[in-house]
Amino acid sequence: MTTPPRKASVRLQERRGSNLSLLLDVSRLGAEPVCSVSTPKEVWLQLLHTSSRPLTHTLLRRAAEDTNSLNVEYQKIPPNFVSAAELDVPGHTMKDRYKTILPNPESRVILRSPEDEAGPDRYINANFVRGYKGAQRAYIATQGPMVHTVGDFWDMVWQEGSSIIVMVTRLKENNERDEEEEEEDETSRFGRFVLRVRDSREKGGFTVTDMEIRLSSERRPVRHYWFTSWPDHHIPQCTTPLLRLVEEVETYSRSLLPPGSQPSTDPCPGRGPGPIVVHCSAGIGRTGCFIASSIGCQQLRETGQVDVLETVCQLRLDRGGMIQTTEQYQFLYSTLAQYSSQQQHDQRQTTKMIALINKLLDWFKALFWKEEMELTLVGLQYSGKTTFVNVIASGQFSEDMIPTVGFNMRKITKGNVIIKLWDIGGQPRFRSMWERYCRGVSAIVYMVDAADPEKIEASKNELHNLLDKPQLQGIPVLVLGNKRDLTGALDEKELIERINDLCPTVRVQTEPVRDVMKNVLRSSDLVESSPERRQLLINNIISHKTKIQSQPAAS
């Protein structure tokens, strides 16, 4: 009879299923040693801190067209919403527009009690948000003020020294009041503050309002941008208005800085323009789109690439839920893709513009036959006069030129020619000075912004007034249609028709540098002729009384 094999002895701990026996059994299977398990919150934060996808111009445009991949990418971004248990602020629910959208505790704005009032710090549903290159407190993202929180809103604006407010929502949505209007009358009182509206004007898709906020005897200017082009609960059909708003806000913000300084990352209020306050209804969807678009545009300008994924993750670390829907995420990509295309087109246009400027200088040199010449640049504000001067002087094109206020004169040497160039401000209060600075000059250059159709009427009126001045008769006038490469700009035919509608005796060309110069250089007897003959030929090309038909651009 065969004896069965003897069983191996089993220790008491192993028979009882101790932790040690489990470890031994698992280790035999090749499993990893036991380690601590991260909580879902820790996993989210790790993803938000490490997610990145830098894109070049070409890759950005491809990504913007792949909506399915963008949907997958968006769904993987942790929302990082804050629970009520994480926000240890008694009574905060009374001041929250939505119960589920709360400020991140680490970055929330805390309202300090006024110096003349005793009491604890106060609550507002708002967060400081980092900007480009992680600049601290570049923005404040907040919910739209309600009837009982509008005083807190202006307390925050005053406390943080903010000079710019961007409102990305309507006053009413779904026929219900969505926001407490921030400037109801010319003068209004909100809590401790008195607000006075100084000026309001419509732009393409948004309204700009200059206000003054006063506390006791101290007054501060505040500029309010109200973006009206975002439809209720949808995304805009066109990205152009948002890009214009981003550019307008950035330009004005830079103008508030001292000359030569950079945007401050100092968290102390009162230095520079302060954080840009951005709000919609909840302060996360449209607000996030505006801030992310602004940061993305800066990335493209400075580095030639953009990281939308990293930017949105950074925003959600500062305020949970930023960029609220897949559609908004796709719209953000589309916005930056359009800006990328526009930027690359501008770079190509810079080279062309420099070449045209050099030809223009050669034309002026041949035309006037003298070592020194004097030109005057006029046109409405933001038409590109200062950029024109900068290209002539340095050969460099820049989007960030601050418009001339008053006048500016530069002497520029090109070869053997010394050019005295007057750049006259285009603001309404300076237009009466145009005639004085145009008297006796070699030529007048009149700039027209073809990308701003709303200003064409005013531009042609001012041109008509200038041409009617008897003191300026006989002075050649060169009319330049600028910014025709931008989206929405008038084409050559439209611009000529709009300008000539009021001035039937003047034919304006949208590319006069090339077309007029071609006509001049084609007249072989111009250089060798007498001054009287040259003036006659000039008048046949461009003058107050001779029509010049538009010609196709030279190939």
CATH number of the domain bearing residue 304: 3.90.190.10
**Mean pLDDT calculated for residue range 225-230:** 92
Rounded to whole angstroms, how far apart are CA atoms 526 and 531?
A: 9
Rounded to whole angstroms, how far apart are CA atoms 89 and 202?
A: 40
Q: Does an H or E element contain 137, and which? A: none
Same domain for 530 and 466?
yes
pLDDT at 2 over 90: no
Q: What pLDDT sits at residue 92? A: 93
Kindly name the residue from 238, 268, 280, 503 that is annotated as catalytic: 280
CB neighbours of residue 197 within 10 Å? 17
Q: Does an H or E element contain 374, and which? A: strand 372-379
Say if residues 51 and 77 touch (Cβ distance below 8 Å).
Answer: yes
Side chain identity at residue 394, one-letter code: S
The boundaries of the domain holding residue 181 are 53-343
Give domain status of residue 299, yes or no.
yes
Rounded to whole angstroms, how far apart are CA atoms 264 and 273?
A: 9
Rounded to whole angstroms, how far apart are CA atoms 296 and 336?
A: 7
The model carries a pTM of 0.61
Q: What pLDDT sits at residue 447? A: 86
| Choice between 303 and 529, residue whose per-residue pLDDT is larger | 303
Cα angle 52-230-276, degrees, rounded to a multiple of 5: 60
- Record the tokens describing residue 492, joined without a space: 């050559």
For residue 282, what are the CA distances in angstroms to 57, 96, 190, 211, 536?
32, 9, 21, 24, 67
Same domain for 466 and 320?
no
Q: What pLDDT sits at residue 368? A: 60
pLDDT at 327 over 90: yes
Give domain status of residue 552, yes or no.
no
Give domain status of residue 33, yes or no.
no
Q: What pLDDT sits at residue 415? A: 64
Confidence of residue 357 (pLDDT cuts 50, 70, 90): confident
Q: What pLDDT sits at residue 36? A: 61
Same domain for 246 and 285?
yes
Same domain for 60 and 160?
yes
280 annotated active-site: yes
Annotated binding-site positions for Mg(2+):
386, 404
Rounded to whole angstroms, how far apart are CA atoms 303 and 299?
A: 6
**Mean pLDDT calculated for residue range 506-519:** 38
Which region among 407-416, 500-509, 523-532 has the lowest average model confidence (pLDDT)? Answer: 523-532
Q: Does an H or E element contain 412, and which? A: strand 407-414
| CB-based burial label for 487 (10 Å; 0-12, 13-18, 19+) | middle
pLDDT at 399 over 60: no
Characterize the bridge pairing of strands 172-173 and 176-177: antiparallel
pLDDT at 32 over 90: no
Side chain identity at residue 407, one-letter code: F
Same domain for 86 and 195?
yes
Which region among 251-265, 437-451, 496-510 has the lowest average model confidence (pLDDT)? Answer: 496-510
pLDDT at 420 over 90: no
pLDDT in tens, 42-82: 888 999 999 999 999 999 999 999 999 999 999 999 999 99
Q: What pLDDT sits at residue 365? A: 65
Say if residues 376 and 420 touch (Cβ distance below 8 Å).
Answer: no
**Mean pLDDT calculated for residue range 183-193:** 76
Same domain for 325 and 449?
no
Q: What pLDDT sits at residue 115? A: 67
**Which CATH number does the domain housing residue 471 bear?**
3.40.50.300
Of 340, 232, 338, 244, whose CA–CA distance to 286 is shortest?
232
Give domain status of residue 48, yes or no.
no
Same domain for 337 and 378?
no
Q: What pLDDT sits at residue 93? A: 93
For residue 221, what are the CA distances in angstroms to 157, 161, 184, 334?
11, 10, 17, 34
Contacts (Cβ under 8 Å, ≥6 apart) of 455: 380, 383, 449
Of 87, 137, 144, whose CA–CA distance to 287 is shortest?
144
Largest CA distance in the chain: 138
| CB-based burial label for 108 (10 Å; 0-12, 13-18, 19+) | buried
Same domain for 225 and 294?
yes
Percent of the chain whose pLDDT exceeds 90: 41
pLDDT in tens, 519-535: 333 333 333 334 443 33
pLDDT, averaged across the chain:
78
pLDDT at 97 over 80: yes
Instruction: Count how many domains the chain has.
Output: 2
Give domain status of residue 555, yes or no.
no
Give domain status of residue 146, yes or no.
yes
Annotated binding-site positions for GTP:
379-386, 426, 482-485
Same domain for 381 and 506?
yes
Say if residues 279 and 14 touch (Cβ distance below 8 Å).
Answer: no
Say if residues 226 and 207 touch (Cβ distance below 8 Å).
Answer: yes
Q: Could you say which of 303, 327, 343 is where a domain stops?
A: 343
Same domain for 113 and 187?
yes
Side chain identity at residue 378, one-letter code: V
Give domain status of residue 25, yes or no.
no
Same domain for 86 and 184?
yes
| Choice between 306 and 257, residue whose per-residue pLDDT is larger | 306
**Mean pLDDT calculated for residue range 428-435:** 85
- Record the tokens describing residue 543, joined without a space: 């003058």
Rounded to whole angstroms, how far apart are CA atoms 196 and 389?
A: 37
Same domain for 243 and 382?
no
Percent of the chain whose pLDDT exceeds 70: 72
Give domain status of residue 379, yes or no.
yes
Annotated binding-site positions for substrate:
232, 280-286, 324
Q: What pLDDT sits at residue 142? A: 98
